[in-house]
Structure 1
Amino acid sequence: MNAKTIAIMAGILVVLIVGSKSLYIVDEKERAVLLQFGEVVDADVGPGLHFKLPVVNEVRKFDGRVQTLDARPQDYLTLEKKRLIVDSFLKWKISNVRSYYTATSGDEFRAGDILSSRVDTGLRNQFGQRTLNEVVSGEREELMLELRKTLSSATEEELGIEVIDIRVKRIDLPPEVSQSVYERMRAEREREARELRSKGKELAEGIRADADRQKTVLLAEAYREAETTRGQGDAAAAAIYAKAYNQDPEFYSFYRSLNAYQKTFSNKGDVMVVDPESDFFKYLKNATGN
C-alpha cells in the first residue's frame, strides 16, 4: 500500500468523521436549540436532518411531548385553619425552547423542581381562600381552573413552559384527626338511621291501624249484608213454606212427620221413650192420621 492510497483513505476517514459531527437529526417528538460557543443561535430547530459546525456548534435536544409531574403530598390549611393533605399532579410541555433552555439549562429535573414549587405555592394560596367544603366538592373545579391559568401565564413567560392541566388526586385529613372525624360521621349516620327507622315504624303503625280499621269496616259491612240476605232468604223460605202448607195442610203435616220418622230411626241403636198415644205416632197407626 503506497503513500497515496493511505492519504486517500485517511482523507475519506476524516470526511466521514467530520460529516458525522456536522449532521444531526431532530425527531418529531423533540424540541432543539442550536448553540454557538454556548450562545443560542437557533432557538427552535425544526424536525429533520440539519447541519452544524463541529466544535463551534452544539445541539441540545429536549422532549417536546406532554410531561407529567407527580407532586409529593403536601399539607395545606383551609380558610377555617383546617389542615389537609393534598396529593396533586401537573401536565406540562415546552412552549418556548429559548426561555426553557435559558431558565433551566435544559435540565428536566430542575424544571420539575421549579414547577413543583410554583404548584405548591399556588395550591397553598387557593386552599387558604376557601373552606373545607369548597375545596372538597363545592369549588374544586373552579380552584383547579383558576390555578392553571395563573400558573401557566407565569411559567410561559419565565420558563417557556405551558401548564396544560392541574389535578388533585386525593385530599385526606391528617391521621390524628381522621379517626375522630370518622367517628363523628358514623354517629351522625347512626342518628339519621334511627330517625328514619322511627319514622318508618310510625308510618307502619299508621298503615297497620288503617288496614285494621278497613278490615273491621269491611267485615261489619259483609256481616250486615250477609244477615240481610239470610233474613230475606228465611223470609222467602217461610213464605214458600206457608204457601205450601196452606195449599194442603194435611199433606204438609204428613210429609213433615215422615221426615221426622226418617231422622229419628236412622240409627238402630237409638232409644226413644215416648207415649205411644202421642201425636208423634199418629201416622204410624193410621195413614190418615186419625
Structure 2
Amino acid sequence: MSNKSLVALVVGVILAVVLWNSFYIVSETERAVLLRFGRIVDSDVQPGLHMKIPYVNSVRKFDARLMTLDSPTSRFLTLEKKALMVDAYAKWRVDNAERYYTATSGMKQIADERLSRRLEAALRDQFGKRTLHEAVSGQRDELMAQVAESLNQDAQRELGIEVVDVRVKAIDLPREVNRSVFERMSSEREREAREHRAKGKELAEGIRADADRQSRVILAEAFREAEELRGEGDARAAAIYAEAYERDPEFYAFHRSLQAYRESFADKQDVLVLDPESEFFRFLEESK
C-alpha cells in the first residue's frame, strides 16, 4: 500500500470517529444536559437526534421516568411522646435537569440519599404534631398529603426533583410496648362490649315490654269484638226462635221435643228415670 493510500485511510478513520462522536440521541424517557469542558451550555436538551463538538462537548443523560424511594423503617414520636415504627416510600422524577445535575452529579444514589433524609425529617415533623390516633387513622391521609407537599417544595428547590406522591406503608408499635398497648386496647374493647351488651339488653327489655303490652291490648280488643259478635249472634238467634215460635207454637214445641229425644237417646246405654206422665213424653203419648 502506498503512502498516499495509508494517509487517506487514516484520515478516513479519523473523520468517521469524529462524525460518530458528533451525534447523540436523547430518548423520550430521558432528560439531558449538554456540557462544554464540564460547564452546562444547554440545560434542557429535547428528545431527538442532536450534534455536538467531539471532545469539547459532552452529554449527561438522566432517567426521566417515575422513580421509587423506599425509605427504611424509622422510629418517630407522636404528640404524646409515644413511639411509632413507620415504613414509607416516595415517588419522584427529575424536574429540572440542570439543578439535578448540579446537586447530585446526575447520580440516582446521591439523589435517593438526600431525598431520604428530607423525607425522614418531614415525617418526623408531621408525626410530632399529631396524637397516636390521629397519626394511625384519624388524619393519616392529611399527614401524607402534607409530607408530600413539604418534601416536593424542598426537593424542587434544592435537588431539581418533583415528588409526585408519599405513602405510609405501615405504622407499627415498637416491640417493647406492643404487649402493653394490646392489653390496654383489649380491656378497652371488652369495656365497650359490656356497654353495648347492657344497652342491648335494656333495649330488648323495652321492646319485649312494649310487645307484651301490645299483645294484651290486641287480645283484649279481639275478645271484646268476639263477645260483641257473639252477643249479636245470640240476639239474632233468639229473635229467629221467637219469630218461629210465634208463627207455629205447636210445631216449634214438637221440633224442640224431637231434638230433646235425639239427644237423650243418642247412646243405647243411657237410662232415664222419669214419671210416665211427665211432660217430656207428651208427644210420645199423643202418637199412640
Structure 1 residue 107, shift from structure 2 partner: 1.2
Higher mean alpha-carbon deviation, 224-233 vs 20-29, is at 224-233
Q: Deviations over 1:184-238 (max 9, x none)?
A: 3333333333322322222222222222222223323332333343334334434
| Aligned equivalent of 1:257 | 257
Higher mean alpha-carbon deviation, 89-98 vs 148-157, is at 148-157
Provide the C-alpha distance between the structure 1 equivalents of 2:230 and 2:164, rounded to a whole number of angstroms. Answer: 90
Percent of residue pairs identical: 58
Which aligned pairs between 1:14-53 and structure 2 lie closer than 5 A?
A: 14-53=14-53
| Aligned equivalent of 1:217 | 217
Structure 1 residue 83, shift from structure 2 partner: 0.8
Higher mean alpha-carbon deviation, 205-214 vs 3-12, is at 3-12
Q: Secondary structure at the match of 1:164?
A: strand
Q: 1:118 to 1:255 in 2, by over 3 A?
A: closer
| Aligned equivalent of 1:62 | 62
Q: TM-score, normalised by structure 2?
A: 0.84
| Aligned equivalent of 1:189 | 189
Provide the C-alpha distance between the structure 2 equivalents of 1:231 and 1:135, rounded to a whole number of angstroms. Answer: 76
Provide the C-alpha distance between the structure 2 equivalents of 1:178 and 1:189, rounded to a whole number of angstroms. Answer: 16
Q: Secondary structure at the match of 1:112?
A: helix
Structure 1 residue 24, shift from structure 2 partner: 1.8
| Aligned equivalent of 1:152 | 152
Q: Which amino acid is the alignment partner of residue 115 of structure 2? A: L
Provide the C-alpha distance between the structure 1 equivalents of 2:132 and 2:287, rounded to a whole number of angstroms. Answer: 111
5+ long unaligned stretches in structure 2: none
| Aligned equivalent of 1:125 | 125
Provide the C-alpha distance between the structure 1 equivalents of 2:4 and 2:45, rounded to a whole number of angstroms. Answer: 41
Provide the C-alpha distance between the structure 1 equivalents of 2:134 and 2:25, rounded to a whole number of angstroms. Answer: 50
| Aligned equivalent of 2:107 | 107
Provide the C-alpha distance between the structure 1 equivalents of 2:243 and 2:26, rounded to a whole number of angstroms. Answer: 125
Aligned residues: 288
Structure 1 residue 110, shift from structure 2 partner: 0.9
Q: 1:285 to 1:52 in 2, by over 3 A?
A: closer
Higher mean alpha-carbon deviation, 78-87 vs 50-59, is at 50-59
Provide the C-alpha distance between the structure 2 equivalents of 1:276 and 1:108, rounded to a whole number of angstroms. Answer: 132
Provide the C-alpha distance between the structure 2 equivalents of 1:249 and 1:112, rounded to a whole number of angstroms. Answer: 120
5+ long unaligned stretches in structure 1: none
Q: Secondary structure at the match of 2:65?
A: coil
The Cα RMSD (Å) is 2.9
Structure 1 residue 245, shift from structure 2 partner: 4.1
Q: Deviations over 1:9-64 (max 9, x none)?
A: 33322221222223222223222233333333433333332333333333221112
Provide the C-alpha distance between the structure 2 equivalents of 1:239 and 1:146, rounded to a whole number of angstroms. Answer: 93
| Aligned equivalent of 2:285 | 285
Q: Which amino acid is the alignment partner of residue 26 of structure 1? A: V
Q: Deviations over 1:75-131 (max 9, x none)?
A: 111121111111222222223333322222221101110111111122212222332
